[in-house]
Structure 1
Amino acid sequence: MVRPLAFLPYLKVFEAVSRLGTLRGAADELHLSPSAISLQLRKLGDATGIVLFERNGRNVALTEAGRDFSRTVSQALAQLSMAVRDSGRHDGHAHARSLSVSLPTALGVAWLSGAVVEFAESRSISNLIINEAIVADAVDWERSDIAVVYDNPPFAGRWWQLLSEVQLKTVCSPVLFPRLDLQHRERRLNGITLLHEDDGQEWNKWAIAARVDLQGSARVRVPSVAHAVASAVQGRGIALLSDVLTGSYLNEGRLIQPFSTAINAARAYYFVAATDRADDPLLQAFVTRIAEFLKPTKN
């Protein structure tokens, strides 16, 4: 029989391992030894009776039961931190709060800016500032409390958490669909312009996976994904983009996905913040809410 609340001392370690995916990463963050991390996880498993992790090489992966427990723990810790902070206010008056968030341009335009504004309204935040940056190194940390970046960890000296992995599919305006040669054994794009923001390697990777000939197609390198989205909607070419960015356009019929082949992007979306702000209840609530906003658009 599980002794009530016997697991509470081990939740901080569990949260760190769940978020980082490695014992070493959690040990470094919490200034503990890996053996101490393992011991606390074992005691947590014994106290709850739940099999929380399974080994994946040198890393650990949450079981299905572990993932459910992790979501509950993250929300509970955020609520407890909020309760402690609120109880420490001496004047009894609500303080005007501010929040500064950095977002990738395309993701902000697609849906995230609206989600951030809604979050601020729900929390009665009187001063919301939205900045722009794509990768963590470009974030102005003097002006940003938390960032969503399209990048790859590790982010030195920062706390981070995965928001969404990214899969890329071809999208184009419906007006271009008749030009695509999808019936021929060697499928071709028939000269439709390829829109990309990298050096073209993602298009080459996709072409191999989809067995599509790219010969004859011009290539246009744009400064950001936002430009690729806009150009595709305007019928100026075909782009490799994520449903996270194009969901609303696909639902409205302004874009279509002519091929079913998808490839993994070279980067993913992450929340990033200063390490000493990782336990801030407002930032934790922000992470939880934005992740919830994203769920309906996932594949």
Structure 2
Amino acid sequence: MAFNLPPLPWLRAFEASARLGNFTRAAEELLITPAAVSYQVRQLEQHLGYPLFDRVHRELALTRLGQTYLPSVEKAFSDLSIATVSVFGERGRKPVRFRCLNSFGQLWMIPRLSDFRQIYPDIELQMISASWAETLNPELFDIDIRFGDGTWTDGSVAFLVNDPVIPVCHPELSLDPALPDIQQLAEAERIDIMGVVDTWESYFRMFSHPVPKRNGLQVDQTLSALELAANGHGHALVLETLAAPYLESGRLVRSANRQLKSRHSYYLVTSGPLEALPGDAKLFCHWMSQKLAADAIT
């Protein structure tokens, strides 16, 4: 099968120049001279018949066609890198170090790590737990899995998944299906998680119900809220992904079918572009993104 492709060095020079903003920085990454990078980009432009950059002093600005072309080139290199490492492995591997919130690590990540290990038995992982999102420290870990609004400025941010918030309780505290669920929840004991944006107050307002007074325990961790609910201490309002293990085991049931769209989401935060991560780290991110997407569908 014939492929109508420009030479790969030209495409690599274009991708690096677009990502780094000028030929000098691209040359440092590619270990060639700035003149060589400039030459390869011009050869690519001549091959395509269109300019990809507007040269503004020493900086580069993508043309409209360059902006359209770049995502496909980036994806092609990323896919090629993932496929190469998947089939042939990578020399000089280092552990993939990632940090995530305790609740996400315990309830979502750990139950699925056996799947990752089966697919990539030669990749070593190091998981660091955190209670709250903190500043990225690339010397301690490569990848930060955060939950929030995605407005962090200490690294590159990539969206992972948005998860609905659902009310859950011990089976013995199930609501009476013959009565309005929202009124029963207003009168029931409820567990509040401090520091979250998707609160019981938000839940009641979403369904146009007067906000009742607090009448239950307050905790600072989703894990604590789930354990309290599983032990019959009230109804908890939690992310569906985190409640899933409890629902599957039968320790908890949904209090009501009404759910709240979370104002926060899960994100990947890295010190540089995802494309610049080592091959093993890219494979881990790709696997996690696919798993989260599959869970969201099911």
Deviations 1:78-98 (A, max 9, x none): 335788994xx5xxxxx5632
- Give, in whole Å, the separation in 1 of the partners of 2:157 and 2:13: 16
Percent identical residues: 17
8 A Cα contact 1:78 1:284, kept in partner: yes
Aligned to 1:177: 174
Secondary structure of the corresponding residue to residue 127 of structure 2: strand
1:171 counterpart SS class = strand
CA change 1:182–1:40 in 2 (3 A) is farther
Rounded Cα–Cα distance in structure 2 between residues aligned with 1:266 and 1:34 = 36
Instruction: Give matches, 1:59-74, under 5 Å.
Output: 74=78
Larger radius of gyration: 2
**Do the aligned residues in 2 keep the contact of 1:106 with 1:224 (CA within 8 Å)?**
yes
Amino acid at match of 1:169: I
Across the aligned residues of Structure 1 and Structure 2, the Cα RMSD in angstroms comes to: 3.9
Unaligned residue ranges in structure 1 (runs of 5+)? 17-26, 45-51, 53-65, 90-94
Residues 141-181 of structure 1: CA deviation (Å, up to 9, x unaligned) = 43212121112323324122111112211111111114x68
- Correspondence list, 1:165-204, <5 A: 165-178=162-175, 183-184=179-180, 187-189=183-185, 190-198=187-195, 202-204=199-201
In structure 2, what is the Cα distance between the partners aligned to 1:263 and 1:13? Answer: 44
SS at match of 1:5: coil
Give the distance between the partners of 1:288 and 1:182, measured in 2 at CA.
45
Query: What residue in structure 2 maps to residue 92 of structure 1?
Result: none
After TM superposition, list the pairs within 5 Å mapping 1:25-104 onto structure 2.
30-31=20-21, 36=62, 38-43=64-69, 74-79=78-83, 86=90, 95=92, 97-104=94-101
| Cα pair 2:182 2:204 within 8 Å, conserved | no
Counterpart for residue 280 of structure 2: 282
CA deviations 1:120-157 (Å, max 9, x no partner) are 56434475321112544255543212121112323324
Question: Quick one: which of 233, 241, 266 aligns to 1:269?
Answer: 266
Structure-2 change in CA distance of 1:106 and 1:3 (3 Å): same
Contact 1:196 1:222 in 2 (8 A): yes
Judged with a 3 Å threshold, the aligned counterparts in structure 2 of structure 1 residues 184 and 130 are, in CA distance, closer, same or farther, namely: closer
Structural mapping, 1:157-236, within 5 Å = 157-178=154-175, 183-184=179-180, 187-189=183-185, 190-198=187-195, 202-215=199-212, 217-236=214-233
Using the TM superposition, give the Cα deviation of residue 110 of structure 1 relative to its aligned residue in structure 2, in angstroms.
Answer: 0.8
Change (3 A) 1:217 1:191: farther
User: How does the TM-score come out when normalised to structure 1?
Assistant: 0.69
Code of the residue aligned with 1:149 in structure 2: it is R
Q: CA deviation at 1:36?
A: 0.8
Q: TM-score, normalised by structure 2?
A: 0.69
CA distance in 2, matches of 1:166, 1:276: 24
2:291 to 277, 290, 293: 293
Which is further off, 258-267 or 184-193?
A: 184-193
- Cα distance, 1:104 vs. partner? 0.9
Could you give the per-residue CA deviations for residues 216-251 of structure 1, whole angstroms, max 9, x where no partner exists?
Answer: 551432111111121111121211112211112212
Conserved? CA contact 1:116–1:290, under 8 Å: no
Counterpart of 1:238, as a letter, is: H
Closer/same/farther in 2, CA of residues 147 and 184 from structure 1, 3 Å limit: closer
Contact 2:21 2:61 in 1 (8 A): no
**How many residue pairs were aligned?**
257
Structure 2 residue runs of 5 or longer lacking an equivalent are 23-58
Q: 1:144 aligns with which of 125, 136, 141?
A: 141
